[in-house]
Each structure stands twice: as structure tokens, then as C-alpha cells.
Chain A
């Protein structure tokens, strides 16, 4: 019945992958952004200290009697102390001539706009940050320029950067994990809405074709709308066909009764033996047709009643006894007897007409297949369960599963009147009451049909 849908890809996977992939890209970007920014800040910090140091040295320069004196303040180098004890190099030039310090620390060509120059370079095998600045001193009739170059290795800076990189990596990782968890959550809540709809579709009874009323997210509204309209059309065409069958059966039954009474009347008047035989066969065929029409009507009625099940409190024993009394004459005509056993009263809440109809079909079936002079046993127990058993040929084991389908008849039913709707009706009634219909064969022979409500 159910065809497996053609599955291609998964919404959940696609969502999760997109979100996690996005989170990973963002985390990497975050890591580099933080690291880059921190590197700039750290470098700025070192530059500021170097700048302050150079400024204090420049400030300590003075022309005394035309001779340049540079009284380097103790703080100028003291402020260059770092946790990793970075090496310090400096050089003082006067008008481009080396005066004091480290001669291999060269003056950098200062940019035109400002007196300050910050460069990164290498000295004595180590990477250094180098700052240079100059100041013009004016003495008596003399002008001279002092230039100071200060270099410092970058061990502390790179250690700071390592720490920041590690922290930035943790930050990125944390961000990623959080976003990943969030994306799983988002995905499951989104897919959850679909699952909810699926569950409510699956939970519906086979006859429930009413539209969905529960609120759904806006994005799913079109889906629910088309689902509702599909079910509306299905419901309409189903009820149309049911109506049509009921109408047709009803229309056929009345003329059939007329034809039957004519045939009966004619049978009394006809003398010739072959004519009487023909008329009898005719009557039998008419009976069969009218019975089928009746069962179709029953089925339509039952379909309607199960769709709108109205329960009332009844005593199953009384209900079935009433039915058995009505059926006893028919049984006696076939030289069969009906026996009722079981609990004295079995109260139950259900639709009495449906239950009577179901049990009648079960007894009808038994009467059809039971051999002459045998007894059809009807047992009612408080489970509640109604068991109808006969001593006929029983069901073929391979057919037990299929016999309750509509218009399905057993192979050994040839020669008996029947439409194949009897057990279907009984099963529909059982399902409508939330029960089951079980077909078995008795160990002593004969069929046994159990209606559990």
C-alpha cells in the first residue's frame, strides 16, 4: 500500500552542516582578528615605551659651552625592563657622527613628515624593534642635531603574542563549540515542527479525513493547506462513492423484492418440473443479490456510524440474546441450533446497532458453513469478547490473513451465498471500538471468530 518516498539528502544534515561550517569559518576569522588586533596593541605598547625612553634621553641632551652633553636618565633604560629581560641597544649620534652606545645600531632614514621612525630589523642575530628620533639644539651661535636610536629585542612581545594566540584559539574554539551546540538545537527544533506534523498525520484513524486545526509555523502553512485540500477532495470522493453504493443498493433491493414475489407466485402456478427448477434457481439468485445489496447497505451504514461513533451503555448478553432470538427461526430452517454461553451480564459502552450487526454477520457466516444438525456456539465473556464457533470445515490457514478484506471470499465458499462483506463489517466494528477481530480454527475442527472489543 505505502510506497517508500524517493529520499534525496536530509534537511537536518544540510542545516547542521551549513550552520557548523559557518561557525567554523567565523571561529577561524575570530581567531585571526583577535590575534592581529592583539599583535598591533602589543607592538603599540612596546613602541610607546621605546618612545618614552628616547624622549627622556633627548630631553637630557644639552649644549654646554658649545659641547654636547647627554646625561642619560637612569629611568630611560630602567623602563625597558621586561619579564623576559629583553636586550637593549642604543646609539647617540651628533649631526650623523657616532657619539656613544652601540655603533652597529644604524640610524634609520627618518620619514619626511615626522622626526620619529619605528622600524623592525635585525641586530646581532636577534629581531629588534628600533625607534629613532632627533632634536635640534641651539647654542651660542651654533646649531647641532642630536639623534638617538633605541632598539629592543622582542622576546617579551612574542611571549605575550603566544599567550594571546592561545587565548584567542580557546575563544575561537569555545565560540565554535557553542555555535555547534546551538545549531544542533536549532535544527532539532525546526525539524521537530515537521516531525510533529508527521506524527499527527500518522496518528489519525484510517477514516479521519478532517482538516488539520493545530497551529503550525508560517513556513509550513502551504504544506498543511495543500494537505487539507487533498484530504478534503479525498473525503468528498469517498463519501460520494459510499453514497453512490448505498443509493445503488437501495434502488436495486426494492425491484428485486418485487421480482422475487412474482417469481414465488409464478412458482406456485407452474406445473412442469423443469420450469419449477428454473424458477427456484431464479429465486435463489434473487436472494443472493438482495442479500448482497443488504450487506452493501449495512456496510455503508457501518462506515457512517464508525466515523461518528456514539457510545451508550449496553449489556452485551442482552443485546446478543435479542439477536439470537431473531436468528433462531432462520437457523431452524437450516436445521441448526444456536447456543449461548458465558457470563450472565457483560456491561459495555458502545454502539449497540454496530455490535449487533457485527455479531449477526459472524453468526450468518457460521450458519452458512455449519453442517446439518450441528450447533453454532456463541460465547460472551467479560473481557469483553464475543466468540462464535461452528463445526464446519473451518478457514484455510493461508487465507486467514486476507478474509477480512472487502469482497474477499474463501476458496471453500463456492456454493454458499455470500458477498464477502460479512467479516469486513465485523472487523470495521471491532476497530471502531478499539478492538480486534481474530479468525482461528478450533482444534476439534470448525471455524472460530473472536470479536474483542
Chain B
């Protein structure tokens, strides 16, 4: 009986979780040292060079890389904080709330500018703007819109061409989509007008940047709004069909952040990993498939990078979120 229970306990989580992950990969599997469990929203192909670099420096550490959506990561970490050592996510607000709620382990020895960390427990290591990505074919002979207002006009001009062929995040499912949407809404009323126009054109809603880019690449959709610049840039280089536009009216720039779970069993290895992320400029990997590096704030003034501060908690408030989602649904789902 006891063996049976043990067997069930051993097999169940494996069975239950194995199919949940978008991707799951173990780096340096043969290492005899500690194994770091990294839960991340970043596609493996973009993150792999970083982990390869880390295990090359620390050959005795192996890394299990688990990929999921930002909202899902938040729920999983809250449910089982001891199941992960490192949490990497692009949803800054959810990450900050994790840290604020005490799920992050403060690392006193990591030196990084104050704007790139919060409470010495949440560390930014990339700077990534939200972008509009278009299929060039759809704009042949037309002006390519450089602003949201320009996009609205382009969509209104040829509604039948774009109907059902534009995409954006489903902010109800995607943490990053919600973060981009709320920051856009803070910045300008244009966001709501754009949402209404897109809603009127039967916008397709996506969970993740990757899927949106895939659909763009194969021509399913012609325009994607608020795609993660880094993903788009990778695809745009490979496919001439795509053009990545960083809107000139205002930009929403996110910093990818990492934290160490307070319940980690491997605090030293985890700290070494964070130290590596913060020190190693991802672009220095020399690979085309890499994340953009962290850019110092103030290098350019018209780019607004979302700040790591308690204000990120505002839109995570239940009442506030309900209100925002209902406004969003009113605009988008018609």
C-alpha cells in the first residue's frame, strides 16, 4: 500500500505537469552539482544562449528550463513556491507583486543600478520595447504607419482587407499583454480608439508574442499590435515579409526581470545565475537569437521604460483590474 502511494505521488506530478509546459529542456544534464529549476516566459530559443553561457562557466550546475505564459507563471509560483528556483518573466507588474508579497529572496550582493532592481530581490536584465509588426505585402504601395494614429487611419481606410486579419494580446490571459495595455492606456487615449477600431475589425486575440509572429509570418494576420520587439526582430531578420515598427508617438518599453524564489533549495547557485544574467549583456553572446541588452534609462528621453516601483501594483488591484478589463472588453469584443 505504502509503495503504491509513493508510486502515485512520484508519477502524478510528472504526468500532470509534463504536458502543461510550452517547452521544457534540461541543460548540462550530466552535471553532478545542483539543478536549478528556471520557470520563464521567454522562448527557449532566445534564452538558450544565456543558459549555455552560464553552464559553461559553472559546469557542475545543471539547469531545467520550463516555459509558460506570464499569468500562468504567476499562478504556479504562488501555488508552489518551492517548485522553482528562478522566476523569469516579462510581466513586470506580476513579478513586482511576487517580490512585494514576499516570494522573492533578497540578494544583497548583486550590484545593479537602483532603477534596474527592486528591493534587491527583483532584477531587470533586458530592455524590450513593444512593437507594431506588419506584413509588408499588405502595405504595398501604401504608407507604412509610424504611429498608433497612423495605424488607426490605415485600418479605417481599408477595413475589408484587415477584417479578421489583425491581432493583439488577449489581456485577460496574458500578463505581458495586460501590462502593455495598461501602460498604453496610461500614456494616451489613442490606445482606446485603436482598441475600438481593432474590435470593430474582429481582432484576433493571442496569448503570446510567438504565436502572433507565426501567424504574421504565414499570412494569417497582417498587423500585430504590441508584439514583443525582441521576438519580432528575430523573425523580421529571417523573413523579409515582416516589418517591425516602433511607434514614434510613444513607446512602451518593458524590462525582463528575474527573481530567486524565497523557497529555493539552491540559493547560492540561484544567486550565481542572477549575477550572470545581470552582468552578462545578452547581446554579447554574438548570436542572432538573443535578447536585447539592458539599456540605461535616460539614454534617450522619449522612450518611456516602465519603472520598477510599487505603482505597478495599481492595475493588479482586483477592483481596478475588473474595471480595466470591462472597459477593454467593451472596446474590443463587440
Contact of B314 among A74, A87, A102 (CB under 8 A): A74
A104-143 toward B: CB 8 Å interface, digit per residue (1/0)?
0000000000000000000011000000000000000000
Tell me how far the C-beta of A160 lies from the nearest C-beta in chain B, rounded to whole angstroms.
16
The yes or no answer to B323 lying at the interface (CB within 8 A) is yes
Residues of B within 8 A of A349 (CB): none
| Contact status A78-B311, CB under 8 Å | yes
Whether A76 touches B314, Cβ cut-off 8 Å, given contacts A83-B114, A87-B119, is yes
Tell me how far the C-beta of A61 lies from the nearest C-beta in chain B, rounded to whole angstroms.
9
Residues of A within 8 A of B285 (CB): none
| Chain A residue total in the interface (Cβ 8 A) | 27
The yes or no answer to A70 lying at the interface (CB within 8 A) is yes
Tell me how far the C-beta of A59 lies from the nearest C-beta in chain B, rounded to whole angstroms.
14
Look across to chain B and name the residue whose beta carbon is closest to the beta carbon of A88: B310
The yes or no answer to B309 lying at the interface (CB within 8 A) is yes
In the complex, the number of residue pairs spanning A and B with C-beta atoms less than 8 Å apart equals 64
Whether A85 touches B313, Cβ cut-off 8 Å, given contacts A71-B320, A100-B318, A124-B102, is no
Tell me how far the C-beta of B118 lies from the nearest C-beta in chain A, rounded to whole angstroms.
5
Q: How far is it, in angstroms, between the C-alpha of A71 and the C-alpha of B186 when the chains are bound?
A: 13
Q: How far is it, in angstroms, between the C-alpha of A124 and the C-alpha of B102 when the chains are bound?
A: 8
Residues of A within 8 A of B118 (CB): 85
| Contact status B320-A72, CB under 8 Å | yes
Look across to chain A and name the residue whose beta carbon is closest to the beta carbon of B186: A74
Q: How far is it, in angstroms, between the C-alpha of A180 and the C-alpha of B323 when the chains are bound?
A: 68
| Contact status B119-A81, CB under 8 Å | no
Contact of B309 among A81, A92, A99, A102 (CB under 8 A): A81
Residues of A within 8 A of B309 (CB): 77-78, 81, 85
The yes or no answer to A75 lying at the interface (CB within 8 A) is yes
Q: How far is it, in angstroms, between the C-alpha of A85 and the C-alpha of B123 when the chains are bound?
A: 13
| Contact status B319-A85, CB under 8 Å | no
Residues of B within 8 A of A80 (CB): 310
The yes or no answer to A347 lying at the interface (CB within 8 A) is no
| Contact status A92-B319, CB under 8 Å | yes
Interface centre among B120, B318, B320 (most CB of A within 10 A): B320
Look across to chain A and name the residue whose beta carbon is closest to the beta carbon of B309: A81
Contact of A71 among B117, B120, B312, B323 (CB under 8 A): B323
Tell me how far the C-beta of A52 lies from the nearest C-beta in chain B, rounded to whole angstroms.
14
| Contact status B317-A100, CB under 8 Å | yes
The yes or no answer to B275 lying at the interface (CB within 8 A) is no
Interface residues of A in 51-86 (CB under 8 A from B): 69-78, 80-81, 83-86
Tell me how far the C-beta of A274 lies from the nearest C-beta in chain B, rounded to whole angstroms.
127
The yes or no answer to A101 lying at the interface (CB within 8 A) is yes
Q: How far is it, in angstroms, between the C-alpha of A100 and the C-alpha of B319 when the chains are bound?
A: 7
The yes or no answer to B100 lying at the interface (CB within 8 A) is yes
Q: How far is it, in angstroms, between the C-alpha of A71 and the C-alpha of B308 when the chains are bound?
A: 21
Tell me how far the C-beta of B188 lies from the nearest C-beta in chain A, rounded to whole angstroms.
14
Interface residues of B in 307-334 (CB under 8 A from A): 307-314, 317-320, 323
Q: How far is it, in angstroms, between the C-alpha of A134 and the C-alpha of B119 when the chains are bound?
A: 30
Q: How far is it, in angstroms, between the C-alpha of A86 and the C-alpha of B312 when the chains are bound?
A: 14
Whether A81 touches B319, Cβ cut-off 8 Å, given contacts A74-B186, A87-B119, is no
Residues of B within 8 A of A90 (CB): 313
Look across to chain B and name the residue whose beta carbon is closest to the beta carbon of A60: B320
| Contact status B311-A75, CB under 8 Å | yes
Residues of B within 8 A of A71 (CB): 319-320, 323
Q: How far is it, in angstroms, between the C-alpha of A131 and the C-alpha of B310 when the chains are bound?
A: 17
| Contact status A72-B317, CB under 8 Å | yes
Residues of B within 8 A of A70 (CB): 317, 319-320
| Contact status B100-A88, CB under 8 Å | yes
Tell me how far the C-beta of B306 lies from the nearest C-beta in chain A, rounded to whole angstroms.
11
| Contact status B319-A72, CB under 8 Å | yes
| Contact status A73-B314, CB under 8 Å | yes
| Contact status B313-A77, CB under 8 Å | yes
Partner-B contacts on A (CB < 8 A): 69-78, 80-81, 83-90, 92, 99-102, 124-125
The 10 closest A-B pairs by CB, nearest first: A78-B311, A85-B119, A100-B318, A77-B310, A88-B310, A81-B309, A77-B311, A100-B319, A70-B319, A85-B118
Q: List 19 A-B contacts (CB under 8 A).
A: A69-B319, A70-B319, A71-B320, A72-B314, A72-B320, A74-B186, A74-B311, A77-B311, A77-B312, A78-B309, A78-B310, A85-B117, A85-B119, A86-B119, A87-B119, A88-B100, A90-B313, A101-B318, A124-B102
If A70-B317, A74-B186, A76-B314 are given as contacts, then 10 extra A-B residue pairs at C-beta distance below 8 Å, sorted by A number, are A69-B319, A71-B319, A73-B314, A77-B314, A78-B309, A80-B310, A81-B309, A88-B100, A100-B317, A100-B320
